[in-house]
Structure 1
């Protein structure tokens, strides 16, 4: 059995699929990873090693900037993209029995290519946009409508309730009921498969010896705005300073901004951190709301302050606050005092944040293994039908 997985080179999308690739391979499937290079990004050596012997093919380029520009340009951009044809060609060339497509707006052309290829395909998500009611995506509507018109014109199913694509065969949402509550839209047979990633190591983690420098008598606040959205030195400095004002030990992932931030020596920083390890030590996580970060924080039972900066992050902020796993603060409302007040509230045991996170643990599961089971089961069913 050969399975193709289509996604982008962005860490927030590639990272959660590394365990999926490995779970499929462990279950006996051959896997071809079809990558769209986002803003010229490439598969780095750590992630290449983590993927083991899976095939990797680059099928085209996508640019992020247009998705914050004039929405009217999105439709023409998608229609002129060569990605659809290249995706269809790659799926046929790899002789895939099934394709699993990362469903997000920038992969819309790849979805059209999967539809055109004739290869059976399913959808999987790397954020909560696929189950979020459209009223919470109001800021993205002009873009969503362009994507919906493009995809329906190519025969791809479209959920008007979520402004998201659907597969007629298999739709997998890496999420849990405790996070989504009663607010999720699971039309077209969307199945929840547990939180993204897997409980164990992914295989591309880095070291952070300074973690041993933290004072066990003080709460730890971990700050990270991810690998794309961190480049906001003024906002990052305000957040870190506000968190430190509570008396907490602050650990921050700052990319290449350390020289610009002028932080006190006691603030521990690194360009990139072993996030899951740091979260297990942290008492509060201040995050932009990328879904990988949210899921890892839930697994670590670490309450969150979500400061959503763009794209799908307001969706995650909505669900985190609704589940009582943390609170949210709009970027325009970020001051040192607002951050200090939010951190103090998250540290207050009377507010039960950790209790709710602890109660959710039995649902977290291993979404990679569950995804592999469902994909393999679906392919088996399709093959049996084809033999009848």
Structure 2
């Protein structure tokens, strides 16, 4: 349904009534969760927040106080149906933006937002903002960058060979929607500053990012998830194993992790994901529990270590709670996060192909005994507190509203 008319209950926006901020991100846990704290804080301050997402994630954004503006995504529901060549993913996202824009235009017909917050300058939200003349603000749930990936020199090693096709497609998208801006100007304007949801120390070359970038750190929801997990008695160390919310259907990895912790003076909590039946892992050691999902923040609040895939959302949640990371990456983005954690002395990484139960066991005990790692992780946790996380992120959004 279209966004309902404003009730005019708080500070004035451009069209009267409360200021209206619309969020547009990928419909995935790892893209939505990092923004829910910002959403909740803006709502608390009297800002009207809408969030464009799919039906699956509507309850999540509504719980943070936002109005869910639902749409039907054309993206495959099963990760197994996605392109095996991840360099083609931007073309898939661009096609989805073109497919969903008409529906989103209809949803926002009642009243356009005063500001669009988007993570994708080629996404439907950014193009809708450009088409309607609405100001937009870039948000990075990953590392910030001063330039869009498609603008890199194609001769640089690692450059995406599909950049030319992407730029041509985006130019056609803008042209078809009546946006007069040149595609390169459109991308450069988007990457001229914005909100970064990592601590400044985690950002490589952070000194080169000026005041136009707000490094708020992870802006998690204000309250941990409700119950559903009971901590073990006593002061036994707790470890969490998770492979994230998308590519988690790897029961062989979870079985190997259970074997690694068997007999250790640890309590292991495994979140195996919705595609794995915990019962298929067979009998587990008495100090190991497995669930499809766990209240991750509640477990992290008690954890001494987390074994994970290296996704940025899990990485930031771990740092937010002061928990060292043992990363087993599968994708290039995850490997980059693992490298950054190692560079900063915040954890260790293991190559996927060489992980065995014995290797994992030795890595866990070695990392847990490393006081230097624990000290540096605590320092980053303190930096996140000083940065202001959700409060600082909401401040940045409100400053952008004032300039709109």
State the TM-score bracket (shorter-chain normalisation). Answer: 0.7 to 0.9
1:275 deviates by 1.4
| Structure 2: 5+ residue stretches without partners | 1-18, 175-181
TM-score normalised by the chain length of structure 2: 0.77
1:343 deviates by 0.8
Match of 1:115 among 130, 133, 142: 130
Cα displacement string for residues 246-292 of structure 1 (whole angstroms, at most 9, x for unaligned residues): 44221111234311112223312222212122112211110112222
Which SS does the other structure have where 2:318 is aligned? Answer: helix
| Structure 1: 5+ residue stretches without partners | 383-388
Paired residue for 2:219? Answer: 196
Alignment partners' CA distance in 2, 1:25 and 1:91: 19
Paired residue for 1:369? Answer: 391
Aligned length, in residue pairs = 363
Alignment partners' CA distance in 2, 1:236 and 1:140: 34
Paired residue for 2:201? Answer: 178
Map of 1:1-388 to 2, 5 A cutoff? 1-35=19-53, 37=54, 42-43=56-57, 45=59, 47=60, 49-52=62-65, 54-61=66-73, 62-63=75-76, 65-69=81-85, 71=87, 75=91, 78-79=94-95, 81-91=98-108, 93-103=110-120, 108-128=123-143, 130=145, 141-142=160-161, 146-151=165-170, 154=174, 155=182, 167=190, 170-182=193-205, 186=209, 189-198=212-221, 200-201=222-223, 205-211=225-231, 213-216=232-235, 218-244=236-262, 246-255=264-273, 256-262=276-282, 263-310=284-331, 312-350=333-371, 352-365=372-385, 366-382=388-404
Structure (1 or 2) with the larger CA radius of gyration: 2
TM-score normalised by the chain length of structure 1: 0.80
From the superposition, tell whether residues 132 and 230 of structure 1 become closer, same or farther in structure 2 (CA, over 3 Å): farther
Cα displacement string for residues 219-265 of structure 1 (whole angstroms, at most 9, x for unaligned residues): 32211112222210112221332244644221111234311112223
Cα displacement string for residues 60-91 of structure 1 (whole angstroms, at most 9, x for unaligned residues): 30335435347558537735732244445545
- Root-mean-square deviation over aligned CA pairs: 3.4
Alignment partners' CA distance in 1, 2:168 and 2:207: 23
From the superposition, tell whether residues 240 and 141 of structure 1 become closer, same or farther in structure 2 (CA, over 3 Å): farther
1:314 deviates by 2.3
From the superposition, tell whether residues 300 and 239 of structure 1 become closer, same or farther in structure 2 (CA, over 3 Å): same
Paired residue for 2:5? Answer: none
